A and B are shown apart, each in its own frame.
Chain A
Amino acid sequence: MVLLAFPLPPPETPRPSAVAAPDRAAEPAGFAVGSPPADAWLRGGLARGALHEVVAAAGADAPAAAGFALGLAARAGGEGPILWIRDGRAAAEAGRVDGMGLLEFGAGPARVILVQPDRSDDALWAADAGARCPGLGAVLLETGGRPLGLTATRRLALGLRASGTTLILLRGGPPMPSAAMTRWRVASALSRALEANAPGHQAVSVTLVRHRAGIAERTWQMEWDRDRQRFAERAPLPGAVVPLPADGPDPARGMPADGFAARRVEGRSG
C-alpha cells in the first residue's frame, strides 16, 4: 500500500478562526454542538474543515460513541451528504447500519452514503478522497482495524482544510497521537425514563479530552434532540448515580445551572 508513503506536512495547528475555506466563506467557520454550556466552553462550537476524533470509553460504549459522532456529522454537514465509511471490522463488531435506525436517529437516511471497504487501508483511502471533496457535508470514518497514526491524520487534516469538509473519526481502543482538532471520549449514560419506565431519548456522557486551542478537559451529560438536530444538556437524574469515567471532572461542579433542560423536563411531563 503506497498510501501512507507521502511526505510529512509541516506540523501546524489550525485555529478555528482560520479554517474557513474560501468557497465556504458565507458559512460560519464552526458549528455549535447545541448544548449552551458546552458551546460556551468551546468558545462557540467546533471548527469546520477539521478533524474531530470520537473515542468510545469502553467496548460496550461503541454505539453511544457512534451516536455522538453521527450527531456531530449531522450538525457539521448542514444539508450536505454525509459519507459514512466503515471498514469490515467495524461492521462485524456492531452490525450493519440500518436505514430505519438512521431515520429514527434523525440523521436523514437519504443524505447518508455508506462506503464499506473491507480493509482499514481502503477505508483510509476513501476518507482521504472524501476529505478533499468540497461538496460533502461531513465524512464519518469508523475504523475497527489498525488505528490511524499521526501521519495519516495529518494528511486528512490538510485535505479537510482545503475543502472545508468536516471529518469525524470514530474509533475505539487506546489513545493514539493524531492531528485531530478535538478528541472526545464518549460513554453511555442512563436516559431519563418516560412513562412506565421506558427508555427515553438517548443520553451520552461526553468528555472533551483534548483541544488543539488549549481548551481544558470537561465532561457533559448530553441528550440527542432528534427533532431539533442538536445535543441538549441533560437534566440530572433524580436519585440516580451517573456513571462517569474515573478521571473525569466532578459532574456536580461541572454543571452550571441552565434553564433549558429544566424547561424540557416540564414540557415533557405536561
Chain B
Amino acid sequence: MAVVRAVKGGQRLHAVDRAAQALGLAPGLPLADARARVPGLAVVPHDPAADEALLVRLAEDCDRATPMVALDPPDGLALDITGCAHLWGGEARLRARLMARIARLGVEARASVAGTPDAARALARFGGPAIVAPGEEAAAVRPLPIAALGPDDATRAALIRAGLKRVGDLSDRPTAPLTARFGTDLATRLRRVTGAEDARITPRRAVPDCAAEQAFADPIGRMEDVEASLALLLARVGHALERAGRGGRVFEAAFFRADGAVRRIRVGTGRPQRDPAVVGGLFRERLGALADPRDPGFGFDLIRLSVPVAEPLVPAQGLLDGGAAGTEAVADLLDRLTARFGRDRVLRFVPANTHDPVRASRTVPVLGTTPLSWPAPEPGEPPRRPLTVFAPPQPIEAMAEVPDGPPLRFRWRRVLHEIARAEGPERIAPEWWREAGPARDYYRVEDREGRRFWVFRVDPPDEAGPDAPRPAFPRWFLHGLFA
C-alpha cells in the first residue's frame, strides 16, 4: 500500500508501508513507475489534515508523561521529560511505556532520549542509541548522515559534494570556515545536535501554575466516580493554591481515556477562585450542558486537574457593607452562566471607536473583560439609533414621494406600514479602509400605529450610465427597530 500526493503536476508516492518497501518502492517515486513495478499497488491519497489530527491525538496522549509536549511536524513529537522521568522509574521505563502505548494504538514509532531536543530528534529520525547518557550526544550523533542536521537541500548537496557525508565529518572541523561558507544557521544546528547548545521546545500548552492528577489502575467510567475524583482533585488543588496565596481564573480538567483519546473541559471564573465547592459547581454546569457527557468509552485511566491561569487571591475579609457581597454574588452568577452557555453567550457591551453604526458597539465576553464607560447621549433628543438591529439588513419594498425623500410606505414581513413621521436622511458612508460599498441614507420613520423603524436607501452608483443594466434602484433596507 502507498500514499500518493500530487507534486509538480504528477502523482508521486508520499509514503509506503513495509510490504511496498520490500517490493522496492520508496517515497518520491512517480506513481506511474510504481504501478509498472507493482501492478496491484493499493493507493490512498495523501491527507495532511488527518496526519496532523493523528499527531495531535498522540501528543494529547503523551501529555500524561509530561506537561511539556511539542509537535514536530509532519510526523514527530518532542517531549521535555526534564524532572519527570524518575516518576516513571527512569528514562528507559518511561520510553518503553510510551512506546508500548503508541504501539497499542497501531502506530509504529521510534524514540530517543538525549540531552537536547535536536540531538534526540536526529537520533530518533536517523537511527541511533535509544538513550544517550548526559554529555555523550556529540559521540552518539557522529555516525548520522548530514541530513540529520536538517539543512536545506542546497546546503546538503554542497556538503555531500565536499565529501562531508556524516555529522562526525563536520564536527571534527573548525566552525569558522563552515560559517563563512554556509552561514551561521548550519553551525547553530551542528552545535544543537551535538549537545553544545541547548534550545528548549515550545510546549503546545502553557505549563500550568498548579496541577493535580489521579491515575486509576482500572479505568473508571461511572459519572459518580468521575465527579468524586474531580472533587478530590479540586480539594488538592485548592490547598496548593491556598498555600501559594493564589486563586485560579481558569481551571481545566483533562480526562485521559484508556484508548488514548483525551477530553478537556475548561471553566473560567471572573475573579480568582479556589473554593472546591464553587469550582466543582462550575464543572457540573459545564458537564451538564454537554450533549455528550465526555463519553467515557472504555473508561478514563487518568484525570488531571490543572490551573492554567492563576492570580493572587487575598483571603477574604469580613464584609461590612452588603454592596460588596452583592457584587460577589453577581460575579459568581456570571461564572455559572458562562460555564453553562460558553464565553460567547454571556456578553457585555463596549464602545468601539468608529462612525459605522453597525460597528460602534461591540459585545465581548463578560469574563476576562472590564466594563468601559460610554459617552452620555445628547439630552432632550429622541433616540438616534435603534434598540435592535438586523444583521444583515432586511430588504423592504418602499415607495418614496420624491427620489431623495423618505419613504411614504413600505412593506416588511408582508405588512404594509404607512409612514406618518420621518426624519433624515443621515448619510453614513462605509469605512473605505474596511470595505467598499455605496453610502447609505438613513431615515428614522414612524408609521401610523407609532412603530418606529430605521431604514436606509442605497442609490445607484454614479457611473452606471443609462444603458447599464439597471438593478432595481434605489433599494431600501430595514436595519433596525426602535423601542
Contact = CB atoms under 8 A, between A and B. Distances in A.
Interface of A: 23, 60-61, 63-64, 66-68, 70, 80-81, 83, 94-106, 108-117, 122, 125-126, 129-130, 133-136, 187-191, 193-194, 196-205, 224, 226-227, 243
Contact of A66 (B325, B349, B361, B483): B483
B73 interface: no
B361 A98 contact: yes
Given A101-B387, A109-B351, A113-B347, 7 more contacts: A70-B387, A98-B385, A103-B374, A109-B374, A115-B347, A194-B382, A197-B422
Given A108-B374, A199-B445, A227-B380, A23 B333 contact: no
Interface residues of B, number: 62
Contacts of A66: 387-388, 483
Interface string B354-397: 00010011110010000111110101101111111111000000
A200 B423 CA distance: 10
A190 B420 contact: yes
B5 interface: no
Interface in B309-348: 322, 325-330, 332-334, 336-337, 340-341, 345-348
17 contacts: A60-B415, A64-B483, A96-B390, A100-B361, A104-B383, A109-B349, A112-B349, A115-B346, A116-B346, A122-B341, A125-B340, A133-B332, A135-B326, A191-B421, A194-B382, A199-B423, A201-B382
Contacts of B325: 23, 134-135
Contacts of A105: 383, 387, 483
B440 interface: no
B47 interface: no
A116 B388 CA distance: 14
Contacts of B330: 81, 133, 135-136
Contacts of B385: 98, 100-101, 103-104
B386 A101 contact: yes
Contact of B388 (A101, A122, A129): A101
B428 to A, nearest CB: 12
A8 B184 CA distance: 78
Given A100-B360, A104-B377, A190 B450 contact: yes
Contact of B349 (A104, A114, A134, A226): A114
B410 to A, nearest CB: 13
A68 B483 CA distance: 8
A206 to B, nearest CB: 12
Nearest to A64: B483
A114 B347 contact: yes
Interface string B412-447: 000100001111000000000000000000001110
Q: What are the nearest 5 A-B pairs in CB distance? A: A67-B483, A99-B361, A135-B326, A99-B349, A198-B423
Contact of B480 (A95, A102, A115): A95
A101 B322 CA distance: 32
Contacts of A205: 450
A204 B333 CA distance: 33
Nearest to A164: B326
B448 interface: yes
Contacts of A102: 349, 361, 387
Nearest to A268: B380
Contacts of A100: 357, 360-361, 385
B361 A96 contact: no
Nearest to B324: A135
Contact of A243 (B362, B384, B421, B449): B449
A101 B444 CA distance: 13
Main SS class of interface, A: mixed
B388 A63 contact: yes
A129 B332 CA distance: 10
A148 B383 CA distance: 32
A101 B375 CA distance: 13
Given A70-B387, A109-B361, A199 B483 contact: no
A104 B381 CA distance: 9
Q: Of residues A111, A125, A199, which shows the largest number of chain B Cβ atoms within 10 Å of its Cβ?
A: A199
B20 interface: no
Contact of A114 (B348, B360, B444, B448): B348
Given A94-B388, A129-B336, A198-B423, A70 B445 contact: no
Contacts of A106: 377, 383
Given A188-B450, A196-B423, A95 B383 contact: no
B446 A129 contact: no
B452 interface: yes
Interface string B261-289: 00000000000000000000000000000
Given A96-B389, A114-B349, A63 B482 contact: yes
A95 B477 CA distance: 14
Nearest to A97: B388
Given A101-B385, A135-B329, A114 B363 contact: yes
B332 to A, nearest CB: 8
Contacts of B387: 63, 66-67, 70, 97-98, 101-102, 105
A60 to B, nearest CB: 6
A241 to B, nearest CB: 9
Contact of B481 (A81, A94, A110, A116): A94
